[in-house]
Chains A and B, each alone.
Chain A
Amino acid sequence: MKNNAGALSWSYVDSGEAALIARCAAGDEAACAELVAAHQRMVYGLALNLLSDRDEALDLSQEVFLRVFRTLSSFRGRSALRTWIYRIAVNQARNRRRWWRRRHRGDQVSLDEHLVKFGDVESKQDILPDRLLASKETAAKIWQALERLPFDQRTALILREVDGLRYEEIAFTLDVAVGTVKSRLTRARQALRADLLGLRS
């Protein structure tokens, strides 16, 4: 019964991915390289968004993958591999952020700094042009407001809007209920909207 459930849950993982996981768990280096290559952009991007520091993000990404390979044998396929890696990344980032905050208490990133850091972004196709005329500046403002949000709200919103995860996946990543994800998203959006209204007026 339990085995059936376990076998069923592997339906989150397609056969090619399952084979890759098996090879990685067996210590196949080429498979490990393949797995890193497939997910490193996603992990690095999330780390960058959560930590706002390239060196930190790089370091965190390495830690995440090492942790992935160390615990790959305990991966039971209850989620997609991608979501599982997200979960590890978020946990590592949360730990690192605590450590970071202890070291850099009240160390806020200024708007200019943020613009310099993220200024040369490429345009995305789904931007609403009429409402986002001063798009770069608005984006920078919103990211600055985002920095002030609690870690869990911020992470939930980034996972939803930037990484495009569904509620269920966010819930698994943050290890909370779907209802909690919804309320965190609502609160995060309300806070950002209040900032945006202040920006407009």
Chain B
Amino acid sequence: MIPYLGCEAAREMLQPFVDLELPMAEQVVLESHLRWCDTCAARIEDMRMIGAALRLGSAAPSVHAQDAGALAAIQSEVLTRIRAEHDQSLPVRFRELFADMRVLWQALGATAALVVCVCAVTTVNRVARAELPDSMADVISRLANPGSDRYPLQLDAQMLAPRPLNQGWALDSIPGEEAVFALAAVVTREGRVGNFELLQSSVRESGMARGTADESDQISALLDAVKHSRFTPAQTLDGVVAVNVVWLLARTTVKASLVPESTGSLPPISAPEAEGIVKPLNGARARPVLRPARS
């Protein structure tokens, strides 16, 4: 028994029926409907006619008649272009790169030149890292770090001047009656002596000349001791700073002179020369005289 199918429901099935997409069971039901429903049958006919007209009017059936040349052209053109694309593909191009070995030496030379250039640039850069005095970079770092060990300040009145802490050195060992050493140095923030430079040294012998080798040994021993001496670092309101100093070390021997005859009664004063008393410049001990360094 085939179930009844109304037009409403049948209409939904017409298109799949024409397109052969309707399941067999529904196909049977629809066919029984079409046997008596002329409207639906006519719709089916219209759809089939449209399809037939489309196939008839389609340009495709004429393809083999007219377009054999066109089809051959498609094939040959496509194959040519595939070949061209294959030739341009990456592995092929890579292989081509090494097919021509004439450029090998030029390429190697260029690579070597490049390596040399890079090395040169690196070296120059490393060498030129040290800042030139008065260069902009130097000025900037000087301004950025006032009073650092590298950029010491000049002593001025607002500063607490550095004071020596120990007296590891002595002028006693220096032979001669008069000895003056002028040193330029930097007293660092840690109170050490840096950038030591002997500006002037003079030793005057009173007696007979000694061996100069011995004397210079003595001087260098003194300078060595000076180099290792410690200071309280100079201080400003902001804290400790490194300063440039000029350091004067002097030993003078005061000899008594003969009393003028007019004073008569006074006995002659024996000079302490015999004991070789050291008369330091400022007070009891030789101490550094600190002055603002020359700029």
Binding site for B on A (CB under 8 A): 27, 29, 32-33, 36-37, 40-41, 43-46, 48-49, 52, 54, 57-58, 61-62, 65-66, 69-70, 114, 117-118, 120-124, 126-128, 131-132, 135-136, 138-143, 146, 157-158, 160-162, 166-167, 182, 185-186, 189, 192-193, 196
Nearest to A182 among chain B residues (CB) is: B15
* Chain B nearest CB, measured from A120 CB (Å): 6
Bound: A185/B75 CA distance, A: 33
Q: B228: CB under 8 A from chain A?
A: no
The contact sample of 28 A-B pairs, CB cut-off 8 A, is A27-B86, A29-B79, A32-B79, A33-B75, A36-B75, A44-B71, A44-B74, A48-B59, A49-B59, A62-B78, A65-B78, A66-B81, A66-B85, A114-B57, A117-B59, A120-B62, A121-B62, A122-B65, A123-B56, A124-B61, A126-B55, A128-B52, A138-B53, A139-B57, A141-B53, A143-B54, A161-B51, A185-B15
- Check B63 against A32 for contact (C-beta < 8 Å): no
Question: Roughly how many angstroms separate A128 CA and B49 CA in the complex, as a whole number?
Answer: 7
The prevalent SS among residues of B at the interface is helix
A135-B53, A161-B54 known; A118+B62 contact, CB < 8 A: yes
Chain B residue numbers with a CB within 8 Å of A141 are 53
Q: In the complex the two chains form, is B62's CB within 8 Å of A66's CB?
A: no
Give the contact stretch, choosing among B40-48, B131-139, B141-149, B247-255.
Answer: B40-48
**Residue-wise interface mask of B (75-96) relative to A, using a CB-CB cutoff of 8 A (1 in contact, 0 not):** 1011101110110000000000
Interface size for B (C-beta < 8 A) is: 40
Please, how many angstroms separate the alpha-carbon atoms of A94 and B66 in the complex?
A: 25
Is B100 at the interface (CB under 8 A from chain A)?
Answer: no
Contact of A120 among B15, B46, B65 (CB under 8 A): B65
On B, residues with C-beta under 8 Å from A are: 15-16, 19, 21, 45-67, 70-71, 73-75, 77-79, 81-83, 85-86
In the complex, the chain A residue whose C-beta lies closest to that of B21 is A167
* A127-B75 contact in complex given A44-B67, A122-B61, C-beta closer than 8 Å: no
Tell me, in angstroms, the Cα distance from A140 to B201 when the chains sit together. 123
Pick from A33, A54, A118: contact of B67, CB below 8 A: A54
> Complex: how many Å from CA A140 to CA B54?
9
